[in-house]
Amino acid sequence: MKRIISAATALVLTLGLTSCARVDPDKAQESVQVIAMDTAMVISTYGRHSTRAAYASEDCIRALEDVLSRTREDSAVSCLNEAGTLELGELGEELIPLLNAAERYRAETGGAFDITVAPVVSAWGFTAETFRVPGGAELEKLLDLVDGSAVRLEDRTVSLAPGQSIDLGGIAKGYAADRLTDVFRENEVPRALATLGGNVLTWGDRPDGTPWRVGVKDPARPDDQSAFVGILELTNAFAVTSGGYQRYFEENGKTYHHIIDPATGYPADNGLTSVTVVAAADTGEIPGNGTMCDAYSTALFVMGEEEALDFWRERRADFDLVLVTADGRVVVTAGLAGAFAPDEESGYAFETVS
Ligand code: AMP
Ligand code: MG
């Protein structure tokens, strides 16, 4: 028995030594999986501090969720929603940049993105997963509460109008991706790939020097993990997708999804089945383009194709788009022309717009 153990120990040691001798510390790699913000996240980091960076990434996401979650009773957001007002302590401080960003994107998108849509999201059962179709009169009443401009942030105190609540689900993962760029910088991570649900961050390039490959899912085939309308080849970029296929329920043969049009109170139904927003990830700003891409993907899904493309044309230096339409087209904006490889077998018609 003793001999067997020593032989095994020797083998482990040999393997250990062999791997020590072979692995260049700059090529070390670590991955963490985090279940947070209602999604399964995978963060893969590279470089000599890859392990430290991966664990710091997980800590960063968990700390954010403690503040931003709507379903955790003791989160800062839950306390604010419950009391209608919140004095921001050390932890809640994270809410200040996010609330400011949310208000900026609400104003820019003409209210298509609005965190005070929360009571409507809850009425449809998306918060507690108690799905139901609310009546028209109920939605009418709840729509009176949807007005992000009524959220006040003064002297480190946030206040909502009576009856209002906020839902940061449309922006929190993008903000988390922004925060990860900070973690990567602090830990001198040369390359990383973070997949936070529909929010992807490609940091640097792949170990072989080529761009990261990010699939844009086919919204018509949500259960097929390998069904893509095309692949984006990206370096140092955020790619954030919003789509009705990501969260939905069915009742009496109809499908109801989780992105609510604040103008109607119903799931947005403006001809798009998914919106992917792509922007640079190395600007160093927090909140930065991760937050922007997340807010825009939700808002542009609500707007529909024409309004979304007008919005892009006014800001085309800042981001690019892949729109998938309900009538079977994939519309790619000019800046991505060289980075998007369509899947010609997917059955979609492809267009590039400028
Ligand atoms: P996303 O997946 O980023 O498009 O965000 C969708 C989530 O944001 C939903 O699950 C809701 O929690 C919330 N939400 C739904 N509709 C809106 C909206 N119009 N504006 C802001 N947040 C929304
Ligand atoms: Mg979003």
Work out which ligand 1 atom sits closest to the CA atom of 302: 19
Confidence of residue 23 (pLDDT cuts 50, 70, 90): low
Say if CB 159 and CB 84 are below 8 A apart: yes
| Distances from the Cα of 102 to the Cα of 96, 188, 300, angstroms | 10, 30, 15
Q: How confident is the model at residue 19 (pLDDT cuts 50, 70, 90)?
A: very low
pLDDT for 77: 96
All structural domains of the chain with their residue ranges:
2-67+170-353
Ligand 1 mutation target, pool 298, 300, 301, 303, most atoms within 8 A of CB: 298
pLDDT digits over 199-228, tens only?
999 999 999 999 999 999 999 999 999 999
Q: Give the number of other CB atoms < 10 A from CB of residue 352.
A: 14
Q: Which residues line ligand 1 (CB under 6 A)?
A: 113-115, 117, 121, 126, 167, 169-170, 198, 242, 246-247, 258-260, 262, 294, 297-298, 302
Burial class (CB in 10 A: 0-12, 13-18, 19+), 80: buried
Instruction: From the CA of 127, give the closest atom in ligand 1.
Output: 12
Task: Tell me the pTM.
Answer: 0.93
CA of 294 to the centre of ligand 1 (A): 9
Separation of 2 CA from ligand 2 center, angstroms?
Answer: 59
2-67+170-353 architecture in CATH?
Roll (3.10)
Report whether pLDDT(13) > 80: no
pLDDT band at 92 (very low <50, low <70, confident <90, very high): confident
Q: Of the bound ligands, which one is closest to the alpha carbon of residue 245?
A: 1
Query: What DSSP state is assigned to residue 228?
Result: E
Q: What integer is the mean pLDDT of 260-271? A: 98
Element (H, E) at 309: helix 305-314
Please name the residue whose Cα sits nearest to atom 20 of ligand 1: 113
- What is residue 26's predicted lDDT score, i.e. its pLDDT? 72
Question: For residues 143-164, b (16+ Cβ closer than 10 Å) or e, as one string?
Answer: bebbbbeebeeeeeebbbeeeb
Cα–Cα distances (Å) from 86 to 56, 61, 66, 89, 155, in that order, read 28, 22, 15, 9, 11
Instruction: Provide mean pLDDT across the span 290-300.
Output: 98
pLDDT tens figures, 27-70: 899 999 999 999 999 999 999 999 999 999 999 999 999 999 99
pLDDT band at 94 (very low <50, low <70, confident <90, very high): confident
Mean pLDDT of the chain: 93
Q: How far is the CA of 293 from the centre of ligand 2 (A)?
A: 7
